Amino acid sequence: MSDRNINPEGTNSKDLSVDDNLQSSPHNGSDYSVPDNGTYGTSDNSFDSSASDGPEKMTDHGTHAEISENKEVKNKNLSMNPNSYPQKRRYRWITYLLVVLALITIILMSLTVISSNLGIGGGLGNPDKVAVIYVQGTIFSGNVADGLGYATSEEIAGDVHSAAADNGVKAIVLRIDSPGGSPAAAQEIVEEIKKAQAKGIPVVVSMGDLATSAAYYISAPTDYIIASPSTNTGSIGVIWVFQNMSLSYKETGVDYYIARSGEMKDMGGTWRGLTDQEKEYADSVVMDSYENFITEVSEGRNMSKSKVKSLADGRIYTGTKAKELGLVDGFGNFYDAIDKAAELGGISGEPKVEYMNKASLSRLLLSSDSGRSNETAEKLVSSFEESPYGKLIA
C-alpha cells in the first residue's frame, strides 16, 4: 500500500475532498467501508480511479444544486418579503392624502369665491370695515330678486340698516348706476341713510355711468359724492306719466263702463284722457314731490333752494359740469370712493370691504325663490311699470 493511502498527512486536497464528501453522504457511516462481496473492488488502483473522478463530479453537481436552490429560496424570500405590503399601503395612503388635500383646496377656494360674492373681502387683518351697497337699475319700492335690473328700496334700505347696525362698519359706499325711479322709494332709502349718519357712519356715493333723477335724490344727502367726468347725473325733477289709449280701444271695438265713487277715482285710466281738473291736480302732485326733492338737494349739498331750482329743470349734467355746479364733490373711481369712505370713517390702513349685495350667480340663486323666472319677476314690477294711475318718476 502506498504512503499516500497510509499517511493522512500526505493526502492532497483532492483526496481530502473525496473523504469528506464520502463521510458526509447520508448512505455512509462515520467510517468508509467496502462490502465484502467485492462489488467495488479491493485494489488500490480501482479505488483511486473512482476517487479521482466520481467524488469530484459529485461535489460539482452538489454545488450547482445548492446555487439553484439558493436562487429559488431568494426568489421566494423576495416574493414573501414582509416589507413589500407595508410599502404598498404607504404609497396608497400617500395617494389618499393627496386626493384629500386637493379636495380641501377646491372647497376652500369655492368658499372664498362664495364668501366674496356674499360680502366678505379685502383687508382681512383690519377689523374696521367699509360696507359697499350697489344701487343698480330702476329704483322702486318692492321685493325683487337681485340681478334683474331693479334696485328696490326694501333691499337698499335694508342693507344700509344692516351696515349701520354692524359695529365693525365705519363707513358706507353706495355704488350707483341707475336712471332713477320712484320718488317714494328714494325717500325710503334717504331715511336709512340719515339714520346711519346719525350714528356717526359717513356715507359716500360712487357714481358709475348714470346717476340721475331718483338716483341723484339718494345721493344728495350723503357726505361725499365721487363721479367720473363722463358720468351722467342731475335730471333733478319729477314727472307723472299718463297714457290715453281710448282711440285705439274704439278702433278695436273695446268699450268700457266705469262705476266710480268720485269724479277722479279713475284718473289715469288708459280708457280715457285727463280732464282739465285732473291735469291741474296732477301738476300739484308733481310739484309737491318736486319740492321734497329740492329740499333734499338743498340741505344735502348746502345750497339755497333758489340755486337748486335754477339747476333743477330736469336737464342731465356730465360729471365735469356737475362738479362745477357743486352737485358732486370730486372725480375718481369706485376704489377712490372706498378710500374716501375709510378716511371719513377714521379707518387707518387698508379697510376690510364688505359687499352687502354684490351681483353674482350664487346670490341670484340664493335670493330667488326656486323656479322663479325673469318672466315672473317682470310681473312683480308691473305695479310700477304699468301703474293704472300713471307712473310718477323722479
DSSP codes joined into one string, 146-215: TTSSEEEHHHHHHHHHHHHH-TTEEEEEEEEEE--B-HHHHHHHHHHHHHHHHTT--EEEEEEEEEETHH
Find the farthest-apart pair of alpha carbons in the chain and give their distance in angstroms, rounded: 163
pLDDT score, position 277: 94
Q: Is residue 235 annotated as a catalytic residue, yes or no? A: no
**3-class DSSP assignment, residue 225:** strand
Per-residue pLDDT 10s for the chain (394 aa) are 444 444 444 444 444 444 444 344 444 444 444 444 444 444 444 444 444 444 444 445 455 555 555 555 555 555 555 555 566 666 777 888 888 888 898 888 777 655 555 544 444 556 899 999 999 999 988 777 655 678 899 999 999 999 999 999 999 999 999 999 999 999 999 999 999 999 999 999 999 999 999 999 999 999 999 999 999 999 999 999 998 888 998 889 998 888 989 888 889 888 899 999 999 999 999 999 999 999 999 999 999 999 999 999 999 999 999 999 999 999 999 999 999 999 999 999 888 999 998 866 555 555 554 444 455 556 566 656 666 666 778 8
Choosing from 178, 206, 213, 298, which is the catalytic residue?
213
Q: Is residue 213 annotated as a catalytic residue, yes or no? A: yes
Residue 308 corresponds to which amino acid?
A: V
Structure-block grid coordinates of residue 269: 285710466
Instruction: Give the model confidence (pLDDT) of 212-270 as tens digits.
Output: 999 999 999 999 999 999 999 999 999 999 988 889 988 899 988 889 898 888 898 88
Structure-block grid coordinates of residue 172: 358706507
Return phi, psi of residue 172, to 5°. -130, 140
Domains annotated on the chain, with CATH:
129-236+306-393 (3.90.226.10)
Q: What is the chain's Cα-based Rg? A: 50
Instruction: Give the model confidence (pLDDT) of 51-60 as tens digits.
Output: 444 444 444 5
What are the distances in angstroms from CA 215 to CA 95, 151, 185, 296, 390? 57, 10, 10, 12, 20
C-alpha closest to that of 130 among 343, 359, 334, 338 = 338
Q: Is the separation of the CB atoms in 46 and 34 below 8 Å?
A: no
Q: Which residues contact 346 (CB under 8 A, 6 or more apart)?
A: 170
Q: Which residues contact 270 (CB under 8 A, 6 or more apart)?
A: 243, 244, 245, 246, 388
Rounded-to-10 torsion of CA 33, 34, 35, 39:
160
Q: Is the separation of the CB atoms in 289 and 392 below 8 Å?
A: yes
Choosing from 265, 310, 379, 383, which is the catalytic residue?
265
